[in-house]
Structure 1
Amino acid sequence: MIFVALGTQKFQLNRLLQKIDYLVEKNIITEPVFAQIGYSTYIPKNFEFTAFMEQKEFKEKIMKCDLLITHSGVGTILTGINLKKHILVYPRLEKYGEHVDDHQVEIGEAFEAMGIVVCCKESDSLEDKIKEAYNKKWQSYISNRKKHIHIIREFLEKEIGS
C-alpha cells in the first residue's frame, strides 16, 4: 500500500494528488493508495482518502504501507525512517502557491543527501521517483537525539546545578 501524507498546514498539494490519481487510473500504480490530503482541494477519483486523521490511525497507516509519500514534514519523515519504510518526499513549492517559501525542498534534499529518502519536486518525474524509492538500498539513519539531550543536560547542570 502507498500512503500519501500531506500534513495539516493550510496549504494544498493538488498537483501531487492529481498525478497519483492519473497513475492509478492508467494502472501505472497498481497497489492500493490511501491519502491524508489535508487542505488540498483536489478530490481523488481513483483512491481512498481523508482530509485529516487521528495520530494513532496516521501511524498505523505508516506501519502498514510499503511506500510513504510525504510533503516533507520532518515528523512524518522521521516516523517513516524509524519504521524502516521506503520514503518519497514531495515538497510543496512556493512557485505553485503551495507554501510561502521553499524550505520543504531544503528538508527533502537534506534527507536525500543522507541516502534515506528520494526527493521529487515535479510531477513529470513522479513515476520514476516512485520506482527509485521502492528499489533504493537505504542508508541507516542514526538519530543524535540522545547525544543532544546529554549535552543540554550537562549544560543545565553546570549552569544551574542539579
Structure 2
Amino acid sequence: MIFITVGSQKFQFNRLLKAVDELVANGEIAEEVFAQSGVCDYVPAHYEYKPFLNRDEFESMMDKASIVITHGGTGAIISAIKDGKKVIAVPRLKKYGEHVDDHQLQLISEFTKSNFISSCENLSELGKCLKELEKKEFAIYQSNTEKYLDSIIKYIDKEVN
C-alpha cells in the first residue's frame, strides 16, 4: 500500500493529491493508495482519503504502507523512516500557496543526501520516482534521542550533586 500524508498545516497540497490520482487513473500506480489529505480541497477520484487521522489511524496506515509519499515536513519524514518505509518526499512550495517559504526544499535535500529518502521536486516525474524507488536501498535511520537524554541526565546529576 502507498500512504500519502500531507500533514495538518493550514496550507493545501492539492498538487500532490492530483498527481497521485492521475497515476492511479492511468495505471502507473496499481497498488492500494490512501491519503491523509489535510485541508486540501482536491477530492481524489481513484483512491481513499480522509482529511485528518487520529494517532491510532495514522499509525495503522503507516504500518500497512510499504511506501510513504509525504510533504517535506520533518515529523512526517522521520516517522516514516523510523518505521523502515521507503519514502518519497515532495516539497510544499510558496509559489503554489502551499507554505510561507520554500524551506522544505532544504529539509528534503538533507534527508536525500543522507540517503534516507528519495525526493521528487517535479511532480511530473512522480511515476519515475516510484519506479526508481523499487531498486533503491536506503540508509537505516538511528535515533540519537537516547544519547541526548543520557547526556542531559548526566549533566543534571552533576549539577545537583
Give the TM-score normalised by structure 2.
Answer: 0.94
- Partner Cα distance (1:8, 1:60) in 2: 17
1:125 is matched with 125
SS at match of 1:4: strand
Measured after TM superposition, the shift of residue 77 of structure 1 is 1.6
Query: Structure 1, unaligned stretches of length 5 or more?
Result: none
Does residue 141 in structure 1 map to residue 141 in structure 2? Answer: yes
Measured after TM superposition, the shift of residue 16 of structure 1 is 0.7
Measured after TM superposition, the shift of residue 105 of structure 1 is 1.5
1:67 is matched with 67
CA RMSD between the two structures: 1.3
- Partner Cα distance (2:106, 2:155) in 1: 30
Does residue 97 in structure 1 map to residue 122 in structure 2? Answer: no
2:39 is matched with 39
Structure 2 contact 84–140 (Cα < 8 Å) conserved: no
Measured after TM superposition, the shift of residue 136 of structure 1 is 0.7
| AA at the equivalent of 2:33 | V
| AA at the equivalent of 1:84 | G
2:50 is matched with 50
Measured after TM superposition, the shift of residue 17 of structure 1 is 0.8
SS at match of 2:49: strand
Q: What do the CA deviations read for 1:103-151 (whole angstroms, capped 9, x no partner)?
A: 2121111111110100111211111111222321111222111111122
- The size of the alignment, in residue pairs, is 161
| AA at the equivalent of 1:29 | I
Percent same amino acid at aligned positions? 39
| AA at the equivalent of 1:15 | R
- Partner Cα distance (1:146, 1:60) in 2: 25
Give the TM-score normalised by structure 1.
Answer: 0.93
SS at match of 2:134: helix
Query: Structure 2, unaligned stretches of length 5 or more?
Result: none
SS at match of 1:45: coil
Deviating runs (4+, > 3 A) in structure 1? none
- Between stretches 90-99 and 145-154, larger displacement belongs to 145-154
| AA at the equivalent of 1:87 | V
- Partner Cα distance (2:133, 2:101) in 1: 25
Structure 1 contact 68–88 (Cα < 8 Å) conserved: yes
